[in-house]
Amino acid sequence: MPRKTWRAALAAYASPSTLVLLLLGFAAGMPYMLVFSTLSVWLREAGVARETIGYASLIGLAYAFKWVWSPLLDQWRLPVLARLGRRRSWLVLAQTLVIVGLIGMSFCDPQKHLSWLIAIAVMVAFASATQDIAVDAYRLEIAEDNSQAALAASYMAGYRVAALLATAGALFFAEAFGSTGYAYLHKAWAGTYLLFGVLMVPALITTLLMREPAVPLRTQLSAGRYTFTHQLVSVFVLIILLVSVPAMFTQLYNTDFAAVLFNGESVLDLLLTDRAFLRAILYIILTALCLSAMGRRGLAPVLTPVNDFVVRYRWQALLLLGLIATYRMSDTVMGVMANVFYIDQGFTKDQIASVSKVFGLIMTLAGAGFGGLLIVRFGILPILFIGGVASAATNLLFLMLADMGPNIQMLVVTISLDNFSSGMATSAFVAYLSSLTNLKFSATQYALLSSIMLLLPRLIGGYSGVMVEKFGYHNFFLITAVLGVPTLLLIALHWHQENRRGRLEALGASQETQ
């Protein structure tokens, strides 16, 4: 991609689309925190048991599996609202459900209507996740690849500000309205959630006023060649498959096969006496039925976008998926233990809040904006590589901080550079994922790729506490820095291949002109 001037790079932030993404990012950041983080505080203040609050946190799974129903946004037109366009119609539906849901939650006192509160929160979570899918697809379709970083930075700015407002701000509002840890008042929390429902209205107005992406009708029609019933069956089958396969292996693990191998019991005895084995058989049957449905093209609406990605990139798809799966590994695994580390180092809650939350937010937004500027100026892959280096290298600052104790100056330096590099890397990575998607399946492919981005880091991050206990913070931060090396090798290989392909295309073009 040819380099642009600094003036042209800055112009990327002056487009109306940047303001639209800022407002849509704000709308995306609020409901996630209100049904996940802030809701847990509300429930605890109302006296709900910790176990129940833990189960309620599973609402967040809606965001992890949003790729399952994302094909509906590519392939099905909503009745009545379809006149707004493929993207705006889904955004209007999702944002309306979020507004109605937040207002509905405000009327539910968890001391009296806990089940209703959780049910409405689940609806808000699914509507919010659907909004995320539609916003990502809209962003992909309104601008070229080199402008995606600027749009992503604007989206991130709105998202982070809304997330801060929906967490710290929500607690402040609830406290100001009269509910405290010592004197719970439902009206205070009702007023807070009602306020946030009203704050979603500007995003709905923005959706109604903004332009629909100019995607060719032929491209849209080629994506939507499955009936609504076929798509719903596809989603239903995939959900069952995602549940039944892990459950099958879990029940097989709990089955007492030793009784058959060493105690002389028959398989029939095992079936009659071991409930784990019986459940395993049922899950095996469900899995077989799902696989049979796949054979009859039951999952075609979901698998077609995946197959399109593999066909377009062929063997390079493995390299790209490896790069995507490992790019955020270093900072994500480290981030799981970050707040625990601050406490263990002896920093106060006020210091953590002011430096890591407020000041850290400012540095993240600055890094995202600077990253978007650099990408427009120099291209995606160079900044993707620099962001990967910076994200891994800043973990070494945490290593130094671990050896210095509660040094507030070092904490400021560490948080500043870490959040700045994280913002820059995120802008580059969003632009990179955007460049890989096909506009025919933009909602599905981006939702799937972004889910792959978080899968491996989240799994390894689950063992971060074990690593700290075994190796200590010094070696833990060293390990997380080293986790960034494989990504850098994959980016370098991909960059080399892209440069080689560019030279071959230039050589072929020059030979044709001769």
- Residue 83 pLDDT more than 60? yes
Whether the predicted pLDDT of 145 surpasses 70 = no
pLDDT-wise least confident of 217-221, 396-400, 446-450, 507-511: 217-221
pLDDT of residue 219: 58
More confident residue, 368 or 296: 368
The model's pTM: 0.71
Sequence-ordered alpha helix ranges (H) in 296-357: 300-313, 316-326, 329-336, 338-345, 349-352
Query: Quick check: 169 and 34 in contact, CB under 8 A?
Result: no
333-362 pLDDT per residue, tens: 887 787 778 878 888 766 776 777 677 888
pLDDT at res. 183: 80
Which residue has better confidence, 293 or 135? 135
**The pLDDT of residue 294 is above 70:** no
- At residue 303, the pLDDT reads 64
Q: For the residues 8-24, what does the mean pLDDT come to?
A: 76
CB environment 105-130: b (16+ within 10 A), e (fewer): bbebbbeeebeebbebbbbbbbbbbb
410 pLDDT band, cuts 50/70/90, is: very high
Residue 365 confidence class, pLDDT cut points 50, 70, 90: confident
Q: Report the alpha-carbon distance of residue 497 to residue 507 in Å, rounded.
A: 15
Selected residue with higher pLDDT from 449 and 196 = 196
Average pLDDT on 267-271 reads: 76
- Mean pLDDT calculated for residue range 248-275: 79
pLDDT attached to residue 12: 60
Q: Identify the weakest region by mean pLDDT among 144-148, 218-222, 445-449.
A: 218-222
Report the pLDDT value the prediction gives residue 279, as an integer from 0 to 100.
86
- Rounded distance, CA 329 to CA 482, Å? 10
Tens digit of each residue's pLDDT (9 = 90 or more) over 192-244 = 999 999 999 999 999 999 988 876 666 555 555 666 666 667 767 777 776 77
Q: What angle do CA 390, 481, 364 make, to 5 degrees?
A: 40
237 within 8 A of 458, measured Cβ to Cβ: no
Q: Determine which of 120-134, 143-157, 289-303, 321-335 has the lowest per-residue pLDDT on average.
A: 289-303
* Candidate from 190-194, 253-257, 378-382 with smallest mean pLDDT: 253-257
CA distance 347 to 356: 11
- Total residues belonging to the chain: 514
Residue 372: per-residue pLDDT: 81
d(CA 504, CA 228): 44
Amino acid identity at 274: D
**pLDDT for residue 7 is more than 70:** no
CA dihedral defined by 394, 396, 397, 402, rounded to 10 degrees?
140
Tell me the pLDDT tens digit for each residue of 116-131. 999 999 999 999 999 9
Share of the chain above pLDDT 90, in %: 22
Looking at residue 30, its pLDDT comes to: 92
pLDDT score of 136 more than 80:
yes
By the 8 A CB rule, do 379 and 146 touch? yes
Q: Check whether 378 has a pLDDT greater than 90.
A: no
pLDDT at 225: 60
Residue 389: per-residue pLDDT:
93
Question: Rounded mean pLDDT of 405-421?
Answer: 90
Q: What percent of the chain has pLDDT over 70?
A: 87
Q: Is it the case that residue 190 has pLDDT exceeding 90?
A: yes
Q: Is 403 helix (H, G, I), strand (E, B) or coil?
A: coil
Instruction: State the average pLDDT for the chain.
Output: 82
**pLDDT-derived band at 514, boundaries 50, 70, 90:** low
Least confident interval from 15-29, 90-104, 228-242, 404-418: 228-242
Asked if 38 contacts 171 with a C-beta cutoff of 8 angstroms, the reply is yes
Distance of alpha carbon 94 from alpha carbon 79, whole angstroms: 14
Q: In whole angstroms, what is the distance from residue 186 CA to residue 164 CA? A: 22
**CA–CA dist 47, 144 (Å, integer):** 50
> Would you say 224 and 75 are in contact if contact means Cβ atoms under 8 Å apart?
yes
What is the pLDDT, as a whole number, of residue 474? 92
- Asked if residue 327 lies in contact with residue 453, where contact means CB atoms within 8 angstroms, the answer is yes
* Pair 102, 124: CB distance under 8 Å: yes
Q: Who has greater pLDDT, 503 or 174? A: 174
pLDDT exceeds 60 at position 296: no
Q: How many alpha carbons lie under 13 Å from residue 292 in its C-beta half-sphere?
A: 6
Torsion of CA 465, 469, 471, 474, to 10 degrees: 70
Asked if 73 and 90 touch (Cβ cutoff 8 Å), the reply is yes
d(Cα 422, Cα 40) in Å, to the nearest integer? 27
Give the model's pLDDT for residue 116. Answer: 93
C-alpha to C-alpha distance for 157 and 370, rounded to whole angstroms = 12
Phi, psi values for residue 227, rounded to 5°: -70, 160
Supply 159's token pair.
């998202």
Report the C-alpha gap between 389 and 495 in whole angstroms: 15
Closest by CA to 68, choosing from 444, 455, 452, is 444
